[in-house]
């Protein structure tokens, strides 16, 4: 069996940590839910609540992520290099019933090497969609994956990390310093569970760290998929994303509004950096 065949069938290592890139997207074929699926999942889970019986029966909630994991395996991305599943954050948008057909759309939204160096965390946004493309269920899952080498790793889409923050600062437009010429504070940028603070004094970023000594003046936050879609958008869509609630803000709201121009320049730098890492 060739390496390519082994990868497709799930035999062999599949992809190592370095083989994943933030922004990669994959789609599976469709799977139709059967009465046998409902019976089997009821037996395995022990959940025989009346809502799961009869002609309008709804499949148990955990059936969705279970099917998603199975469909994920058909992509051939994950073989023996996967060391384990770390977490699952899942949202149930619509019920799944017998006869429904779903496919899985996967987006790689995070790749972070651990301090050990021989492995890394790969975070995937996964969405079960119906034949019309409507999302039925979705969420993120993170897996620990063996690395084949020591790095270095790309930082252009390592949202919310110190390395990403340092790379952002190196690409900031001179207008950033001009817009903050009299400002003293810290801007927090959070993506999922990762947060970096840019400590600014009179227009100059004097420190990039996981946490400024006095905390952030305000923090702009969103999930990893939102950051990815922001840097891949055809233009700087930060205001639109913020107005529609895709970005949230914690801390001093007045300072956040006052620094809108500076935030747009940060996003411009993030978009430039992400393009280099595409």
The verdict on residue 47 lying in a domain is yes
Q: Tell me, what's the pLDDT at 150?
A: 87
75 and 23 assigned to the same domain: yes
The verdict on residue 151 lying in a domain is no
CATH of the domain at 118: 3.10.129.10
- Which of 93, 119, 146 lies at the terminal end of a domain, its last residue? 146
The verdict on residue 43 lying in a domain is yes
The verdict on residue 253 lying in a domain is yes
166 and 260 assigned to the same domain: yes
115 and 175 assigned to the same domain: no
262 and 211 assigned to the same domain: yes
Exposure of 91 by Cβ count < 10 A (0-12 exposed, 13-18 middle, 19+ buried)? exposed
The verdict on residue 34 lying in a domain is yes
- Which of 85, 114, 146 lies at the terminal end of a domain, its last residue? 146
107 and 231 assigned to the same domain: no
Q: Tell me, what's the pLDDT at 8?
A: 43
Domain assignment of residue 73, given as a range: 14-146
The verdict on residue 8 lying in a domain is no
CB 119 within 8 Å of CB 153: no
The verdict on residue 102 lying in a domain is yes
170 and 135 assigned to the same domain: no
184 and 142 assigned to the same domain: no
Print pLDDT tens along the chain (278 aa).
Answer: 233 333 344 457 789 999 999 999 999 999 999 999 999 999 999 999 999 988 889 999 999 999 999 999 999 998 999 999 999 999 999 999 999 999 999 999 999 999 999 999 999 999 999 999 999 999 999 999 999 998 889 999 999 999 999 999 999 999 999 999 999 999 999 999 999 999 999 999 999 999 999 999 999 999 999 999 999 999 999 999 999 999 999 999 999 999 999 999 999 999 999 999 87
136 and 230 assigned to the same domain: no
Here the tokens at position 22 are: 């933030």
Total domain count, the chain: 2
The verdict on residue 7 lying in a domain is no
CATH of the domain at 183: 3.30.1050.10
104 and 137 assigned to the same domain: yes
CB 149 within 8 Å of CB 53: no
122 and 84 assigned to the same domain: yes
187 and 107 assigned to the same domain: no
123 and 179 assigned to the same domain: no
Q: Can you say how many angstroms the Cα of residue 12 is from the centroid of all Cα atoms in its chain?
A: 26
- Which of 85, 119, 146 lies at the terminal end of a domain, its last residue? 146
Q: Tell me, what's the pLDDT at 96?
A: 97
Which residues does residue 212 pair with via DSSP β-bridges, in sequence order?
A: none
pTM, two decimal places: 0.91
């Amino acid at each position: 069996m060739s390496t390519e065949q082994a990868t497709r069938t799930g035999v062999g290592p599949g992809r190592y940590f370095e083989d994943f890139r933030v922004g990669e997207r994959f789609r599976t074929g469709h799977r139709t839910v059967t009465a046998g699926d409902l019976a089997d999942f009821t037996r395995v889970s022990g959940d025989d609540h009346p809502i799961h019986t009869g002609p309008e029966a709804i499949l148990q909630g955990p059936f969705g992520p279970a099917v998603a994991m199975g469909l994920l395996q058909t992509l051939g991305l994950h073989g023996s290099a996967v060391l384990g599943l770390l977490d699952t954050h899942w949202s149930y948008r619509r019920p799944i019933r017998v006869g429904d057909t779903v496919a899985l759309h996967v987006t790689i939204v995070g790749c972070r090497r651990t301090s050990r160096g021989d492995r890394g965390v790969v975070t995937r946004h996964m969405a079960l969609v119906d034949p019309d493309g409507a999302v039925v269920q979705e969420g993120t899952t993170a897996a620990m994956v063996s690395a084949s080498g020591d790095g270095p790793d790309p930082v252009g889409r390592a949202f919310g990390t110190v390395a990403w923050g340092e790379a952002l600062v190196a690409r900031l437009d001179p207008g950033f310093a001009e817009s903050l010429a009299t400002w003293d504070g810290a801007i927090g940028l959070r993506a999922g569970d990762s947060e970096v603070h840019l400590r600014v004094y009179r227009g100059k970023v004097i420190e990039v760290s996981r946490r400024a000594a006095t905390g952030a003046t305000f923090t702009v936050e969103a999930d990893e998929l939102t950051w990815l879609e922001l840097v891949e958008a055809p233009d700087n869509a930060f205001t639109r994303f913020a107005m529609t609630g895709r970005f949230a803000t914690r801390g001093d709201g007045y300072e956040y509004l006052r620094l809108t121009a500076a935030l747009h320049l940060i996003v411009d730098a993030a978009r430039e950096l992400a393009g280099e890492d595409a």
